[in-house]
A and B are shown apart, each in its own frame.
Chain A
Amino acid sequence: MTPFKFLEIYGEKLLIAILVHLEYVFVSVGIGFIIALILGILLSRTPKISKIIIPVIGVFQTIPGLVFIGVLFMYLGMKPITVIIALSIYALFPILKNTYTGILSVDESVKEAARGCGMTNMQILFKVELPLAMSAIFSGLRMSTIYTVSWAVLAAMIGLGGLGEFIYRGIDTNNNVLIVGGALPAAVIAIILGLLIDCIQKKITPRGLKGGK
């Protein structure tokens, strides 16, 4: 089957699948990002608790998505919310970890200078710590976006659409064209979103924080 033929037959379905897929990715990464940022900041204020929590989170992260989504499915049923929750939690981990380590790795002397200048804790956070942790936070965001694109394929497993539907149907019916037709756009989406995030990061990073010069 030529690509043209493929698009002629599945074009509309593919477009819908891509949009659904993107929706899952944006919503879950968005939710994950906000929660991760808040948790990361809180954890950075309480190093004692974080020493225990961060490794636990690391373990959680290694639980295969399939298992997790399966368990959630049993409790919450076959609803989009199930997928969103599962994906959000997975999206959260890399951002959380990077926010936390990013803030902790801000030079002690810079923080001391900030305090010595008379900044409040909030001002230190927003004017110094977060800007300096920004590149770490961005690489966490990038990682979690790319992962989420591939994890969102699992949504199809419980019959909730997205590009996974093509892939699963392809596997079921032993149709390689369908598998590629679903996997290829997923890969392209991952690459494009990754580049987009890089672009935004480059735009907002002040010259003083860029390596090289």
Chain B
Amino acid sequence: MIVYENVSKKYNDVTVVDNLNLTINDGEFVVLIGPSGCGKTTTLKMINRLNKINEGNIYIDNQNILDVDAVELRRKIGYVIQQIGLFPNMTIEENISVVPRLLKWSKEKCKQRVHELLEMVNMPYEENAKKYPNELSGGQQQRIGVLRALAAEPPIILMDEPFGALDPITRDALQDEVKALHKKLHKTFIFVTHDMDEAVKLADRIVFMSKGKVLQAATPEEMLNKPEDPIIRNFMGKLSYSRYCNDLTCADVMKKRILTVLETKKTLESVELMKHKEIDSIIVVDHEDKFKGIVTIQNIREHGKAGETISRITESNVDTVSVSTNAKDAFDKLIETNVDYLVVLNPDKTAAGIITRTSMTKALASVVWGDAE
């Protein structure tokens, strides 16, 4: 747990972080967002003592960070920056294993860890370990930046606009990867961005800052729905989606490329498929392509029998919406029911697509900034 207690920071008598109080729970994904210069980076860098605290205290697991040697502290906190900052004189392997080597891990253990981490982002060791940073693309470099932060298994990862300089497609892919890593590793992530889309996609909790203060700390849904301050509403594009998505239907905002399986599919095969696609549930249809329900990995694990088809354990009592449903209503339903996605059905009951949190922000963005696609 990280606790900011009345923390203030001044630069030449200008207060940039103003009496900040914030508690971040273990395993939480917190995104700091706010206008440029509001003190996000400063707030972040006080945790690993790259920035000095002028007043107040920060505690990590009830220990004042000032009582820990700064160098020791930093080796236990992963840090990723926007400029990536890989060491150009070191190979990818050396870059990733920097902190483990500082911690004097054995050679074999370092190598094994590098192996494991590269595997995690689908960059095979044999192909990549001996390359130098300048031989990788920007997206690959930042993947390595993230791996370097993860290498010594720190319980806390700090990320300062890590994807800000990447193209939208790469950024999207890396966001997915980071989110997946968070799910898998259960570490505390503190992530700075000024992109609301990114914040909504990643955060368990968004902390909105302005002029060195926290204006609102809330789940993405809450913040989209009930921005507590005009500045926040302004930041989301002057408009709240609830008023402007009226003329959109689910067909406009849903994700159309979805994966379905026949109900006659065997349980094991379905698990393999989900694992391969890195999803934890899948839409089940009958031989006429009509929607039957969804099946989750967990469900199969708990109730499925080997060799059996998935039809018996398919959950049919799930929330669905129709293609003609108003998008706003669908979003409200998504927020209320707190499910990962809603299935959108055609009039003939075939599955047309799904609506996720991401579709929600995309819809919002397209209303506010015009449709990018």
Quote the shortest CB–CB distance from A77 to chain B (angstroms).
47
Taking the complex as formed, is A157 at the interface, i.e. its CB lies under 8 A from any CB of chain B? no
1/0 per residue, CB under 8 A from B, across A112-134: the answer is: 11111111100100011001100
State A131–B181 Cα separation when bound (angstroms).
33
**Interchain nearest-CB distance for B97 vs A (Å):** 11
Q: How far is the CA of A210 from the CA of B91 in the complex (A)?
A: 13
Determine the residue in chain A with the shortest Cβ distance to B83.
Answer: A109
B125 within 8 Å of A (CB atoms): no
Q: Do B74 and A209 touch (CB < 8 A)?
A: no
Name the residue in A118, A132, A206 with the highest tally of chain B Cβ atoms < 10 Å from its Cβ.
Answer: A118
Q: Decide if B89 touches A118 in the complex (CB within 8 Å).
A: no
Nearest B residue (CB) for A132: B89
In the bound complex, residues from chain A placing their C-beta under 8 Å from that of B99 are: 117-118
Query: Interface of chain A, helix or strand or loop or mixed?
Result: helix
Q: For B76, what are the chain A residues with a Cβ–Cβ distance below 8 Å?
A: 118
Interface residues of A in 34-65 (CB under 8 A from B): none
Does A208 have its Cβ within 8 Å of any Cβ on chain B? Answer: yes
Q: Is A213 an interface residue (CB 8 A)?
A: yes
The B58-111 residues at the A interface (CB cut-off 8 A) are 71-76, 79, 81, 83-91, 98-99, 102
Interface residue A107 (Cβ < 8 Å from any Cβ of B): yes
A208 near B50: Cβ-Cβ < 8 Å: no
* Residue A171 CB within 8 A of the other chain: no
Task: Name the prevailing secondary structure of the B interface residues.
Answer: mixed
A209 in contact with B88 (CB, 8 Å)? yes
Across the interface, do B102 and A113 meet the contact criterion of CB distance under 8 Å? no
Give the CA-CA distance A58 to B330 in the complex, in Å: 72
Judged by a CB distance under 8 angstroms, whether B48 is at the interface is: yes
Cβ contact within 8 Å between B71 and A208: no
Interface pair A113/B91, CB less than 8 Å apart: no
Instruction: Please indicate the chain B residues that have their CB under 8 angstroms from the CB of A16 in the complex.
Output: none
Q: By the criterion CB–CB under 8 Å, are B79 and A117 in contact? A: yes
A118 touches B87 (CB 8 A): no
> Among B130-138, B247-255, B280-288, which stretch is in contact with chain A?
B130-138
Number of A interface residues in the complex (CB < 8 A): 22
Chain B contacts for A107, CB-based, 8 A? 83, 85
Closest CB in chain A relative to B266 CB, distance in Å:
47
A203 contacts chain B at the CB level, 8 A cutoff? no
Q: Known contacts A107-B85, A109-B81, A110-B87: does B135 contact A117 (CB below 8 Å)? A: no
A207 at interface by CB-CB < 8 Å: yes
Q: Does B148 contact A (CB under 8 A)?
A: yes
Structural contact, A132 and B88, CB atoms closer than 8 A: yes
Contacting residues, chain A, for B91 (C-beta < 8 A)? 206, 208
Alpha-carbon distance A110/B87, docked complex (angstroms):
6
Find out whether the CB atom of A118 lies under 8 angstroms from the CB atom of B75.
yes
> Given the interface contacts A118-B72, A118-B74, A119-B102, does A208 sit within 8 Å of B81 by beta carbon?
no
Among residues of A, the one whose C-beta sits closest to the C-beta of B75 is: A118
| Contact residues in B for A120 (Cβ distance below 8 Å) | 71
Q: A184-213, CB under 8 A of B: which get 1 and which 0?
A: 000000000000000000000011110001
Given A123-B102, A128-B89, check contact A116 B135 (CB 8 Å): no
Most chain A CB within a 10 A radius of its CB, from B72, B84, B86, B88: B88
Contacts of B72 in A (CB 8 A): 118
CB-contact partner of A112 in B81, B89, B135, under 8 A: B81
Report whether B98 and A117 are in contact in the complex, using a CB–CB cutoff of 8 Å: yes
The docked-state distance in angstroms from the alpha carbon of A116 to that of B47 is 11
The 8 Å CB contact of A116, one of B79, B90, B134, is B79
CA separation between A118 and B135, bound complex, in Å?
26
Assembled-state Cα–Cα distance A208/B89 (Å): 6
Contact between chains at A116 and B132 (CB < 8 Å) = no
> In the complex the two chains form, is B134's CB within 8 Å of A208's CB?
yes
- The residue on A at minimum CB distance from B154 is A118
- In the complex, which residues of chain A have a beta carbon less than 8 angstroms from the beta carbon of B132? 206-209
A118-B72, A118-B75 known; A113 vs B89 contact (CB < 8 Å): no
**Which residues from chain A contact B84 at a C-beta distance below 8 Å?**
109, 113
Establish whether residues A116 and B89, one from each chain, have CB atoms under 8 Å apart when the complex forms.
Answer: no
Q: Name B102's contact: one of A118, A128, A207 (CB within 8 Å).
A: A118
Report A115 CB to chain B, min CB distance, Å.
6
A107, A110, A208 pick with most chain B CB within 10 angstroms = A208
Q: Could you tell me the distance in whole angstroms from the C-beta of B73 to the nearest C-beta in chain A?
A: 8
Q: Mark A88-120, 1 if CB is under 8 A from B, else 0.
A: 000000000000000000010110111111111
* Besides A127-B87, A128-B87, A209-B132, 15 other A-B contacts (C-beta < 8 A): A110-B85, A113-B79, A113-B84, A113-B145, A115-B74, A116-B74, A116-B158, A117-B79, A118-B74, A118-B102, A123-B102, A207-B135, A208-B90, A208-B91, A213-B135
| Chain B residues with a Cβ under 8 A of chain A | 48, 50, 71-76, 79, 81, 83-91, 98-99, 102, 132-135, 145, 148, 158
Q: List 10 A-B contacts (CB under 8 A).
A: A113-B85, A113-B145, A128-B87, A128-B89, A206-B89, A207-B132, A208-B89, A208-B90, A208-B134, A213-B134
Which A residues fall within an 8 A CB radius of B?
107, 109-110, 112-120, 123, 127-128, 131-132, 206-209, 213
8 tightest Cβ-Cβ pairs between the two chains A and B:
A208-B132, A113-B85, A118-B75, A109-B83, A116-B79, A118-B74, A131-B89, A109-B85
